[in-house]
């Protein structure tokens, strides 16, 4: 029994030493594990095309689908960037995608291309406010427009995450912002910084 406990204790020490060695050799290993990155070339291509920060796009994809292209929400949003079919059809109409079908949203390139175009559109619509654009991406433009209108009617601004009345949307904006910082820091080379 004593030998077994000693062996278990030594195994624990060795495992801890291994984790410490990995952390010292690559301190960002945990962040890379926590925030995986796939489809880098497509993300960079469509981020550049739409004047977006690729770390922001990666963070949206991670938050929306965890980089799972077949992801579908209970509300019906589809693919990596979780686009609603109606929104995607509207995007297709504005970008020349005349032959668009909902099945196209399962294609990572189409989904990222449309999601980046839409995110760029939202940033333009909300004068570059990332918080408002992300809130609209998650909660809809109608809701954000209403929130901004109410805030202005009360004589105050609306530009911080704390101003978002829906907890789910507020959490989405915070999580994407946190993810964007992580992606920019640990994947700077891959994302073209």
The crossing angle, in degrees rounded to 10, of helices 108-125 and 40-49 is: 30
The per-residue pLDDT for 5 is: 61
Marked catalytic residue, from 38, 64, 154, 168:
64
What is the reported pLDDT for 75? 94
The answer to whether residues 163 and 139 touch, using CB atoms and an 8 Å cutoff, is no
Neighbours of 47 (CB within 10 A): 22
* CA gap 62, 97 in Å, rounded: 25
Tokens of 126: 């909300």
Beta-carbon count within 10 A of 157 CB: 10
Tokens standing for residue 2: 């004593």
* Other beta carbons within 10 Å of 126: 21
- Res 162: pLDDT: 87
**Beta-ladder partners of 45:** none
pLDDT at res. 3: 75
Query: What is the pLDDT tens value at each position of the chain, 193 positions in all?
Result: 777 666 566 556 655 544 444 445 567 999 999 999 999 999 999 999 999 999 999 999 999 999 999 999 999 999 999 999 999 999 999 999 889 999 999 999 999 999 999 999 999 999 999 999 999 999 999 999 999 998 888 888 776 788 899 999 999 999 999 999 999 999 999 999 9
Q: What is the pLDDT of residue 152?
A: 84
Catalytic site residue 64? yes
Give 97's DSSP letter.
Answer: -
């Amino acid at each position: 029994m004593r030998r077994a406990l000693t062996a278990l204790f030594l195994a624990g020490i060795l495992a801890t030493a291994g984790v410490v060695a990995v952390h010292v050799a690559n301190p960002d290993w945990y962040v890379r594990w926590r925030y995986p990155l796939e489809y880098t070339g497509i993300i960079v291509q469509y981020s550049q095309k739409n004047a977006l920060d690729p770390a922001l796009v990666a963070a949206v994809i991670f938050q929306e689908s965890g980089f799972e292209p077949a992801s579908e929400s209970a509300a019906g949003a589809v693919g990596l960037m979780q686009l609603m079919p109606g929104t995607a059809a509207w995007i297709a109409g504005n970008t020349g995608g005349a032959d668009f079908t909902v099945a196209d949203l399962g294609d990572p390139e189409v989904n990222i291309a449309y999601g980046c175009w839409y995110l760029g559109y939202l940033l333009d619509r909300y004068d570059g406010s990332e918080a408002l654009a992300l809130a609209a991406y998650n909660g809809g433009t109608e809701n954000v427009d209403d929130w901004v209108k109410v805030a202005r009617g009360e004589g105050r601004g609306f530009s911080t995450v704390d101003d978002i009345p829906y907890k789910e949307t507020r959490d989405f904006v915070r999580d994407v912002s946190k993810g964007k910082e992580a992606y920019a820091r640990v994947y700077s080379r891959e994302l073209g910084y």
